[in-house]
Amino acid sequence: MQSVTLGWMDYSIMLIYVGAVLGIGQALRKYMKSSSDFFLSGRSIPAWVTGLAFISANLGALELVGMAASGAKYGMMTCHFYWIGAILAMTFLSVFMMPFYYGSKARSVPEYLNMRFDGRVRCLNSITFAVMTVFASGISMNALAKLLQSLLGWDYHLSLWICSGVVLLYVLKGGLTSAIYTEVLQFFMIVLGFSPVVYLGLKEVGGWSVLKEKLAGVATNPASIGVGDKAFLPDAWTGAWSPMLKGASANPMGVDLFAMVFGLGFVLAFGYWCTNFLVVQRAMAAKDMSAARRTPLIGAIPKMLIPALVILPGMIAAGLAFSGKDDYRLPPKVIAESAYVNVVAAVKHVAATGVTGEAAVQEIAKAAGLKMMSGKVDAIIKASPNLSDADISARVQNAVAENDYDGVILSLIKRYCPTGLLGLALTALLASFMSGMAGNVTAFNTIWTYDLYQAYLAKGKSDAHYMWMGKAATVAGILISIGCAYFAAMYNNAMDVIQLVFGFVNAPLFATFLLGMFWKRITATGAFWGLLLGTTTSAVFHALTLATGNAPGVKGGYLGVVQSFPSEMAQNFWLASFAFLACLLLTTVLSLATKQNKTDAELTGLVYSLTPRIPQADEAWYMRPGVQALALLGVCLVLNIIFW
């Protein structure tokens, strides 16, 4: 990755941001009087703040980088991660599920499971969730330190420890409120830091209509910018639905309608937005029931529009690369440091022996370990006698044909930001990494203290003791995260493995919730074994399926390939659908086979049919969550039709 040099102005903006988050922590310190203040923000935060934190907790830096990457690789269809992959689930959470979470006075998602079922389900959920949060924050901190290292030349270890240290300081002082406030700050940083970049990109490309023309060119000739060999219809990069309706083979994502709508839109989206404590905790911190129910609805408004900030840049990059203006190209994959010697030797060997054409390109590509563009390689070979070794290395790097999609967003920031704005954009990125860690750590310390420590290890201690434990868990959570960051740095496919495990765990969980909240016949035994076996079944499904082009192993298929999918994404969506249905079926059958030990009175407030409706008379009709949810769905529908 090409490095950039920051001016004093850029550093000043970064320092102001760090000062602001530490100042927030300091200012909140005097409000942290009880464990409820520390873990639940004393249930005192207004809805617009929890609403922005609700989506901001999910808008981590890996999300920003990944969405721009998908925007370049797959185009408009990426928006479904926001539209059908979030909005419907968020309105469902508000209208149907929030009354149980907030009304039951549960302090966490596992605690709700304990009330509705029993300690086994709670234990299973809190352990898997705690492990997931520290890994998620470790992965993200590893990515941050790597980025600072390659982009700014900072020391990897120093960056990792300093950034973690800042997070530790403000979470220790202000607890969940600190995390929520910095998430809101991060939200504004990202919106205000990225908007000028998107504006300048769109302006240079020539506006939306010209961008659409360029992307039609990309769709009919993807090889021209190295995003694939297979040609599609002209609207493949600019339509959200039309390329998908023609089947998995007609769109670059390789996903069909069922996998998208049921797999992503229903199972994965509902599993994430309705049951993941990281986001649900934000709504639980709201000041009253009405604010708690409004949290996901307020979050849904910016959520619908964020694709313009995170996916559009990727599409702009693809359009710019297609027009080839000022030699812009999607950033190439970087040749490993250790391979440079071989690459230079290969170029010299080829030039000396007079090997030409495809054979020469092959030899250099083999030395670099990446595919090469033959035209550029020919030019390098011709010029090589007059070039220094460093020049040869630089030119060969530029001739790499494989794209590093994760570098797309940075390539645009570097292209458009003069010093000053550069500091703002990079600080926005830094902010989203750090608040991602803070979000995970605050979820971790709550689950550890309430659902594992208080429930199983030390019952009936004083409130001050649990608050002390929460602070100790914060320190431990950050240290474990740093350990996970080193782990992710050591093993290249650590991230693949972990994301895979997330998939196994998240998808079946929503079936447990759906059944538990809406059917009083579901028993604790049924829920526990259904969840456990559902997760296992999805691991088996993964071991028996593979996406075309992948070798059996981490990506699946290690027990033999029974079914293959056109893309990894399709495999994930089908896996989620399968895991959900398996858990649904098993939980139902096992519940019907076992006796319900809880009485109707015990389940009041936990199950839909046994809970009295919330009186809505004191609210104007247009303030009711149901009405607002319908209005939001209407707006979302219009967006989908405009970008059909």
Partner 1 sequence: MTLDICWPIGIMFSLVGAMLAIFGWVTKASGEMYKRSLDININLWWGLFLLAFGVLMLLSAYKNAQKAKSK
Residue numbers at the binding site for partner 1 (CB under 8 A):
9, 12-13, 16-17, 20, 23-24, 27-28, 31, 41-42, 44-45, 49, 177, 181, 184-185, 188, 192, 196, 200, 203-204, 415-421, 424
- Would you say 152 and 163 are in contact if contact means Cβ atoms under 8 Å apart? no
Of 12 and 499, which has the nearer Cβ to partner 1? 12
Comparison of 110 and 319: residue with beta carbon closer to partner 1: 319
For partner 1, give the closer residue by CB, 400 or 428.
428
Cβ neighbours for 232, distance < 8 A, ≥ 6 positions apart:
219, 220, 222, 243, 250, 251, 252
CB 37 within 8 A of CB 180: no
> How far, in Å, CA of 427 to CA of 424, rounded?
5
Residue with smaller CB distance to partner 1, 50 or 384: 50
Rank residues 178 and 403 by Cβ distance to partner 1 and give the closer one. Answer: 178
CA angle 266, 270, 272 (to 5 degrees): 130
Q: Nearest approach, Cβ of 96 to partner 1 (angstroms)?
A: 29
Q: Are 240 and 640 within 8 A, CB to CB?
A: yes
Closest CA to 547 of 537, 556, 560, 538: 556
Listed in sequence order, the residues at least 6 apart from 568 whose beta carbon sits closer than 8 Å to its beta carbon are 547, 550, 555
**Which residue's CB is nearer to partner 1, number 26 or number 616?**
26
Work out how close the CB of 537 gets to partner 1 at its nearest, in angstroms, rounded to a whole number.
44
Nearest 5°: the CA angle 164, 195, 283 is 55
Q: Do residues 621 and 627 touch, judged by C-beta distance below 8 A?
A: yes
- Smallest gap from residue 190 Cβ to partner 1 (A): 13
Taking alpha carbons only, the member of 535, 554, 560 closest to residue 271 is 535
- How far, in Å, CA of 109 to CA of 451, rounded? 9
Nearest distance in Å: CB 406, partner 1: 22
For residues 509 and 128, the answer to whether their CB atoms sit within 8 Å is: no
Minimum CB separation of residue 17 from partner 1 in Å reads: 7
Q: Looking at beta carbons only, is 270 or 416 nearer to partner 1?
A: 416
The distance of closest approach from Cβ of residue 195 to partner 1 in the complex, given in angstroms and rounded to an integer, is 8
The alpha carbon of 606 is separated from its chain's Cα centroid by a whole number of angstroms, namely 30
Q: Which strand (E) or helix (H) includes residue 547?
A: strand 545-547
Measured from the CB of residue 193, what is the shortest distance to partner 1 in angstroms?
A: 9
Our CB check for partner 1 shows the closer of 273 and 416 to be: 416
CB of 303 to partner 1, least distance (A): 20
